[in-house]
Structure formats: structure tokens, C-alpha cells
Structure 1
């Protein structure tokens, strides 16, 4: 009997997840013989549910929620020897993976248009002992994302991040980082470092135009700024997309990255798929074509 798990975060999408649950269940029942529905109640539940489904050899695992719930679902499957096919219904503020896969952002449309006969390969990233599907970021802009409240995100969507980022840039904070790109060390001064897996970062879909969901690469981007004027001068490059280094931004395609801060007295936390992550230093690598995803 083919079984699918549907993990629903009832607090996602302005608490509208339950409105779409039955619709999604009916859609999945057209293809799978048994649909099991579980609701998350706390952080880590989606990951635990996905891990359990992998151990029981479910055919597929779907999650319904925002980027954090999608990250948890992927993280739960990442270390398992048998990994079910993965799918999701976007209910978040940004929905970067949905954007990268050209999925409809409207939940009802995403459910109705889902083709359960087709999957595609999906790279995922590993940062220290955790996993991500979209981006690791550190510095001024990511710190702003960490500080953005749920109320701001609900009211302003992805622009809440942009507003917070601009406020933090005005504080004119830059850092001296030591990075290792595929074994090559260098020191950089920057307000913000991004390590992306997909073209969509923070809802801005052309930031990394060369990034594909299954290219087997990390896309390492940093701003070459040490003051507010230089930060503002990087904006045109970011808005039009970065596919090579220039005098405003640095860009490299790599498979492994290590990032630390030169001043050992200073502490700085990364942001992983929109949520606060570990303190520096971190080690990041790509796991090529690690999952099969419905899209």
C-alpha cells in the first residue's frame, strides 16, 4: 500500500492551513492509497514526523506551511538512508523554494496544479549538523531578518525584511570575515555574506540568476562594503542579479565554504532559511540531488 504523510503547520499562512488541509488531502488521495495527516505543535515536529515516515518507508512526505516548516521537513529526511519523495504546499511569508521551483504561491492553485506523476532532483545544503534548502546568510542584513517580528512579516510580507535590512545598513556595520572556498582561504570585509542554493533569496527571485535547484553548487555572494555609501552602491547589482564578481560584490560558485569572523571576541549568528542559526564559525557544503521533489 502506498502511503503519504501530510504534515500541516496550523499556524502558517495567517492560520489558514486548516482551510486547505482537506483540499490537499483529497488531491493526494487521487494518487496514494493512504494519506496520513499530522499537525505540528512545536518546533521540530515536522522534522520528527518526516524522519519517522522515512523509517517506515512511506512513498512521499508533504508539508504545508512556510519556509521554516519546509526546512524542517527536508531536514527530517536528509540523514535517512531511504528518503521518501518530498512535496510541499507554500503558506509562508516568502516561499523561496516555491519561487525557485516556479510553483504557484497561491495555496489553492498550488494544490490544484500539483502533478503527482513527476518529480525533479533537489540539492540541499548542510551547515554544521543542520540542513537548509535555500540560503545561509550572515552579517547586517541577515541580522535584520533575525530581528523581524512575526507581526511585521504578516503585515508587510517579504518587504518587512527589506525595510529592516535598510535600517540595519544605515547603522554602517561591517565585519572582517575569514572564508575558505573549496579549500582556498581569503579575508574579506563585508556587511553581508550569502550562501545560496536557489535563485530566490528573501523573495527576490533574480538575486542569484545562475543558481538552479539541482546544479550541485553553492553560490557564495558578499558585499564589498565598509561604509553606508558603499552599501548603497551595491544595491543596483543586487536588484539586477549577480552572476559574476565586480567592484561592488564578490561572487563564487563552490561546493564547500567555511566562514569565521577574524575578531575572535566578536560573536555573530547566521540566518538559515529565514530562521536564526548557529554562531560563527560554520562549515557549509552542498548535497547534490539529495531529494526528489514534486513541483
Structure 2
């Protein structure tokens, strides 16, 4: 008998969350013999529910919510010996993984278009002991993203991150980083580093045009800036996208990187899929084709 768990974040999707849940449950009932629904109440619930479903040998786990809830669902399954197929219905403001997988951003359309015969392997990123789906961002602009108000995200969607970032530009700081990339060390000076696993970052699908969800690689972009004028020249290139080095931006691919500050007394936190993460140093690596995902 086939079993599926649907994990729902009831605070996502506004007033329509309940109707979307009913539609999703009905859709899943057309594919699976048994559909279990659980609601999250606090951070960590989605990860715990997903892990329990894997331990109980469920065939699939689906998540309904924003990027944070989707990230939790994936984190709950990561590196387990048995990992159910994973699916999700987007209810967030940015929905980066949905964009990367070609899943409709309209929740009702995403539910109606679900076909459990469409499955592909998905790379997962790991930063220290945590997991990410899309991006680890480090530096001045990412620091400002850590401070984006949830109400601003609701009001402006993905633009909230860039509004906050541009406000921060006048206070741009430049850091000396020591990078160990697949065993090779280099020292750079930069205001901003982005490490992505998909082509969609912050809702912009052009930033890493060559990044695929299952290419077995992580993609690094960093500003080659030493002054505010350099930063201002790099930002437009970042938004239009890069798959090669330019005068303002460095681009490369790798499987594992360690990022640390040259000054051991300095402090800087990373941003992981839009949420504040660990302080440097961090080690980031890819888990290739680690999860089978519906698309």
C-alpha cells in the first residue's frame, strides 16, 4: 500500500491556505492509497515530520509552504539511508526551487499539474551541518538581507531583498576572504560572495544561468570590488547573470569550498536560503543527486 505525507505550513498562502490544502489532499489521493496530513506549528516541525515519514518508510513526502518550509522538508530527509521521493506545492513569496524545477508558481496550478511520473534527481547543498536548496550568500549585501522585515517580504516579494541590499550599499564593507576550493587555496578581497546550486536566486532566474538542479556542482560568484564604484559596476552584471569571469565578477564551479576571514578577529554571518546562518568559517559542499524530486 502506497503512503504519502503532506506537511502543511498553515500560515503560508494567506486566507487560501485551507482551500489549497484540500485541493492538494484530493490530488494526492488520486495517486496514493493513504494520505497523511500534518500541520507545522513552529520552526523545525517540517524537518521532524519528514524524518519520521522516512523512518516509517513512506513512499513520498510533500510540503506545502514557502521556501523555508520546503528547505526544512528537504533537511529532514537529507543523508538518511532511506529517502522518500520529495514534492512540494509553493505558497511563498520567492519560491526559488519551484522556479528552478519549472513548477508553476500559482499554487492551484502547481497542484493540478502534479504528475508523479515526473521525477528527477536533485542536488542538495550542505553548509557545515545544515542544508540548502538554492544559495549561501556572504558579505555586505547578504548581511542586509538577514535584516529584511517579514512584512516587507510580504509587501514587496523578492524585491524586498534588493531594496534592502541597495539601501546597504552606501555602507558597503570589503572583506579579505581565504577560500579553499576543491583543495586549492586563494585569498580574495570582496564585498559579496554567492554560492548557488540552482539558476534561481532570490526569484531572479538569470543570476546563474548555467546552474542545473542536478549538475553535481556548486556555482560561485563574487564581486571583484575594492571600492563602492566597483560594487556599483558589479551589481547590474549580477542581475543579468554570469557563466564566465568578467572585469567585475569572478565565476567558477566546485564541489567543496571552505570560506574564512583572513582576520581571525572579524565576525561575519552567512545567509542560507534567505535566513541567517552560521558565522564564518564555513565549509560548503554538494551532495550530488541526493534526493528524487517531483517536478
Question: TM-score, normalised to structure 2's length?
Answer: 0.98
Q: Is 1:293 matched with 2:293?
A: yes
The corresponding residue for 1:186 is: 186
What is the aligned partner in structure 1 of residue 271 from structure 2? 271
Partners of 1:15 and 1:119 in 2: CA distance = 31
SS for the counterpart of 1:12 is: coil
**Shift in Å, 1:151:** 0.2
Residue matched to 1:111: 111
The corresponding residue for 1:134 is 134
> What secondary structure, in the 3-state scheme, does the structure 1 residue paired with 2:179 have?
strand
Give the structure 1 partner of residue 154 of structure 2: 154
What are the equivalent positions in structure 2 for 1:159-170 lying under 5 Å apart? 159-170=159-170
In the TM superposition, residue 99 of structure 1 has moved relative to its aligned partner by 0.5
Q: CA offsets per residue over residues 32-53 of structure 1, 9 Å max, x none?
A: 0000000000100000000000
The answer (yes or no) to whether the contact 1:89–1:110 under 8 Å persists in 2 is yes
Contact 1:180 1:257 in 2 (8 A): yes
Q: Residue 24 of structure 2 corresponds to which residue in structure 1? A: 24
**Residues 15 and 280 from structure 1, CA distance in 2 versus in 1: closer, same or farther, beyond 3 angstroms?**
farther
Secondary structure of the residue aligned to 2:14 is helix
**Structure 1 segment 166-245 matched on structure 2, within 5 A:** 166-245=166-245
- Counterpart CA distance in 2 for 1:209 and 1:67 is 20
Aligned-residue Cα RMSD (Å) equals 0.9
Q: In terms of mean alpha carbon deviation, does 280-289 or 236-245 score higher?
A: 236-245
Distance in 1 separating the partners of 2:54 and 2:5: 10
Match of 1:87 in 2: 87
Rounded Cα–Cα distance in structure 2 between residues aligned with 1:215 and 1:289? 8
Alignment-derived partner of residue 45 in structure 2 = 45
Shift of 1:13: 2.5
Contact 1:173-1:226 at 8 Å conserved across structures = no
The answer (yes or no) to whether the contact 1:172–1:226 under 8 Å persists in 2 is no
Deviations 1:145-164 (A, max 9, x none): 11001100000000000100
Alpha-carbon shift at residue 16 of structure 1 (Å) = 3.6
Superposed displacement of residue 216, structure 1: 0.1
Cα distance in 1 for residues equivalent to 2:33 and 2:170? 55
Q: Tell me the distance in 1 between the aligned counterparts of 2:163 and 2:196.
A: 21
3-state SS of 1:7 partner: strand
Aligned to 1:123, what secondary structure does the other structure show?
Answer: strand
| Uncovered stretches (5+) of structure 2, i.e. residues with no partner | none
